[in-house]
Amino acid sequence: MTVGPTTRRRQLGADLRRLRERKGLTLEEAGGRVGISKATLSRYETKEGSVKWPAVDALCREYGASDAERQALVELAKGARIQGWWRSLADPVPESMNLMLTLENEVVREDHYACMYVPGLLQTRAYAEAVHRASEVGCTDQEVTHMVDIRMRRQELLTRDEPPRLRAVIDEAVIRRVTGGRATMREQLRHLLVSARSPDISVQILPFSAGAHAAAVTSFVILGGPDSSLDVAYLDILGGGLFMEKPQELERYRLAFEYLCAQALDVDASATAIDRVCKEL
């Protein structure tokens, strides 16, 4: 899978910090040697904002990086300037969605736990519209349509030549909550069944009978990069989302997801459960 600009940017920040620490320099010392401020170098290392490749080249030389390391990091810096498909949309993407779209555009795997609605990548258009109308009550019809258009465009990553591996654990409450009316819900459940037949997608239902479980608070997604050190956990919260990438935070969500998979019905039993609920509608 092609490595995208955000993955490059994040990898670049991690590598610059590793090289500086290997050299035993502080941010202030390293920045002073190449003529950039401590704040700028800190931003480079924390993977935020743009980066100038000549500065990366100079830093690598100060750090005593090999020619291969230096060239690789310079290429990462140059590649990090490429922008994603959503930048060309006529209407702007809300800032709260920008990072999510950027990261998702480059994933090799996604692990979803959904406690309220079907994961966005598996929603039908009618269901997605119903979700947005319910959760974004202050939005105009035009704004809702724009958000649904983005969601539908996001789903194109599932039809790429090398799509990400998608695992979804969906609470039973999700498939029983009639969202958008009975016809819309039937269509959504049928779409879920069809999607689950893909070799790259697995869907498991977490039944009410499972009782208390490892993620009783909120829905979350683990966005997996080409290297697990670049993984990010995304939590749905009112008014936006929260990203977590510290190792100890990520480990908690990875472990929670594995527990959820173990507590949920297997894929065949899950398909039977979805079909049964669909027929009840």
What is residue 118's predicted lDDT score, i.e. its pLDDT?
97
What is residue 80's predicted lDDT score, i.e. its pLDDT?
61
What is residue 1's predicted lDDT score, i.e. its pLDDT?
42
DSSP states of 216-258:
-S--EEEEE-SSGGG-EEEEEETTEEEEE-SHHHHHHHHHHHH
CA–CA separation, 37 vs 41, rounded Å? 6
Give phi and psi for 47, each to the nearest 5. 70, 30
What is residue 236's predicted lDDT score, i.e. its pLDDT?
78
Q: Output the tens digit of pLDDT for each of the chain's 281 residues.
A: 445 556 667 778 888 888 999 999 999 999 899 888 888 898 888 766 678 888 888 999 999 999 888 888 887 777 665 556 666 566 667 666 766 777 787 788 999 999 999 999 999 999 999 999 988 777 888 889 988 999 999 999 999 888 999 999 999 999 999 999 999 999 999 999 999 999 999 999 999 999 988 776 688 999 887 777 778 888 877 666 787 878 888 899 999 999 999 999 999 999 999 999 999 99
CA–CA separation, 230 vs 181, rounded Å? 40
* Beta-bridge partners for 111: 167, 222
Euclidean distance between the first and the last CA atom of the chain, given in angstroms as a whole number? 40
